Chain A
Amino acid sequence: MNDKLIYFLEITGLNWFVPLAKIAGGEPVGFQFQQLVKMIGLPLVAMLAFLFFWHLAAAKVDTSLGQLPGPVQVWEQAKVLNEEHQAERQRETDFYQRQEQRNADKLAKNPEAEIKVRDFNGRPTFIDQIWTSLFTVFVGFLLASLIAIPIGIVSGLSQNLYNAINPLIQIFKPVSPLAWLPIVTMVVSAVYVSADPMFSKSFITSAITVMLCSLWPTLINTAVGVSSIDRDLLNVGKVLRLGYFTTVWKIVIPSSIPMIFTGLRISLGIGWMVLIAAEMLAQNPGLGKFVWDEFQNGSSNSLSRIMVAVLAIGLIGFALDRIMLTLQKFFSYDKTATIR
């Protein structure tokens, strides 16, 4: 049982809790306690030091929006943002209740009456915006992976193809999302014409921009992973006369999974970073728009609210990376490899 728990903690990247689990399992407390201090104590000290210096430094910077907020003000605003979210949810529930009540009353008086069902038209809150951002980055990242992994595999298997497309990859890889965005916006406006669009244009634009920027690490890593497969393994496939797709499925993909996931992790990280910029300009109702709106709003709380967003962006990026790391460890055959 305890072994399973430790394995779970290790595979999910929650290594910090491993010493606690080991102490609970009856291992010598002294050594595990040292590990605990190293793994949890040191980062904790660093974090407290950071908060302390932030607090000191912030007090010395005056902006046109007032003093630069310290940790305390940011924490206050985080609570306010959460309260606003709760309040908005409450209003939504109330709205639907009232609407249902009204319609029920109407029908009771006259069963033939025409009833109207309207969607709640509230403001997206900070929490809503986080979900929008996550969904957008997920779609962009998924599209990128669906394109990059097959191309990576094919070009990893054929040196000629790789030589052919490598210059293109190298040229497009360093292009900033801000440069792509106007083009993507215009193309989406021209191509995505629909009377009743399933997704808003701003969403499509942001997702495609994320895709364009997060293609490359996955593509390159997949190609490198595939091209560095042990020749003998491919020879085994030849001796067994496996077809092209069987070879890819049974030999190429399993052996390059670690590299593919390394690429995917970098891609997701880049995608998340790019998304914020894309949302700012495309006005997709996510975290990027939140930051932009608060910046334009310019109230005395704006800087604190932006900092809440900055921390949220950081924490979510960290969480996404951990999720990818866990997936990588889960799918990788070599469980002992150190993956950072």
Chain B
Amino acid sequence: MESYLNIDHVSIDFPTANGPFRALDNVNIQISKGEFVSIIGHSGCGKSTVMNIVGGLYQATEGGVILQGKEVNEPGPDRAIVFQNHALFPWLTCYQNVELAVKSVFGKTRNRQQIRDWTLHNLELVHMTHAKDKLPAEISGGMKQRIGIARALAMEPKVLLMDEPFGALDALTRAHLQDSLMEIQSDLNNTVIMITHDVDEAVLLSDKIVMMTNGPAASIGEILQVDLPRPRQRLDLADNPDYNHYRSEVIKFLHQRHARKAA
């Protein structure tokens, strides 16, 4: 069976003064519709590069990305990106930030009322309606990332790409946002690729964890299916033997078999 999103034997070289530098080598991931996939690895292993290739911001040197049977090689709203540092336009209010995305994607097919309703609906989804008229500088980091997620969801993407979305947040805010994300995910059942370096986050949120080896020429080390029942509760999982098993699998991969040689 053909998969929904196929990252098909992707390699990428970056030009350097000493000839091409192979950052990724033969990365091969199949993702079905509605699946939540995390890519985990040490920093610098090229996990963000994978995401940028899927997002179309980088072009693969070999192989390619096939979404619903069509190759994608340029950026587009069907693969919305949530950036690590939210990347909100600081001169627009939260509402306007989401609205800009809605207008760009649906400006031709929906009328003003529909655009307005859809913008507000997505703000509601991330519980940010109360701050819709504030500028990004006036809200906290967690709130900014909520708006970033709302903006990406508002594009109705086929695949939601998240580049360490909670990496810049403190632990409590992060847990809060993870819960929100799970809640949204259970409603919308999006296909998600999330880059992370947080083991707990990966196990808690994912259906599948892709573990990457260290660069240069990073590739996939192992793929772990996470068969924990949903909805998942952070507190219940703490004592769940399966959860701890998955967790230790990832930790062993990262810290035994593919430990970084020098920090």
Contact = CB atoms under 8 A, between A and B. Distances in A.
Contact of B87 (A230, A242, A250, A334): A230
A239 interface: yes
B89 A239 contact: no
A334 B137 CA distance: 8
A233 B89 contact: yes
Contacts of A241: 75-77, 104
Instruction: Name the interface size band of chain B.
Output: 20 to 34
B208 interface: no
A242 B101 CA distance: 10
Interface string B78-121: 01110101010111000000001100110000000000000000
Q: Which of B74, B80, B100 has the most CB of A within 10 A?
A: B100
Contact of B104 (A235, A242, A254): A242
Contacts of A254: 89, 91
Contacts of B46: none
Contacts of A232: 83, 85, 87
B48 to A, nearest CB: 12
A238 B83 contact: no
A239 B90 contact: no
A240 B137 contact: no
Given A232-B83, A250-B100, A240 B105 contact: yes
Nearest to B97: A236
A251 B80 CA distance: 18
Interface in B6-41: none
Interface in B178-220: none
B57 interface: yes
Interface string A310-337: 0000000000000000000000011010
A49 to B, nearest CB: 42
Contact of A239 (B75, B91, B135, B137): B75
A233 B87 contact: yes
B100 A239 contact: no
Contact of A255 (B56, B81, B91): B91
A50 B155 CA distance: 64
Contacts of A230: 87
B142 interface: no
Contacts of B75: 235, 238-239, 241
Contacts of B74: 238
Given A235-B75, A239-B55, A241-B75, A333 B135 contact: yes
A334 B138 CA distance: 11
Contact of B81 (A239, A242, A257, A333): A239
A232 B89 CA distance: 10
B132 to A, nearest CB: 17
A256 to B, nearest CB: 11
A136 B77 CA distance: 49
A277 to B, nearest CB: 39
B104 A240 contact: yes
Q: Which 10 A-B pairs have the closest CB atoms?
A: A333-B91, A232-B87, A240-B104, A238-B75, A254-B91, A239-B75, A232-B83, A236-B87, A333-B90, A239-B81
10 contacts: A233-B89, A235-B81, A238-B57, A239-B80, A240-B77, A240-B155, A241-B104, A250-B100, A257-B91, A333-B90
Given A240-B104, A254-B91, 13 more contacts: A230-B87, A232-B83, A232-B85, A233-B89, A235-B57, A239-B75, A239-B76, A239-B79, A241-B75, A250-B100, A255-B90, A255-B91, A336-B137
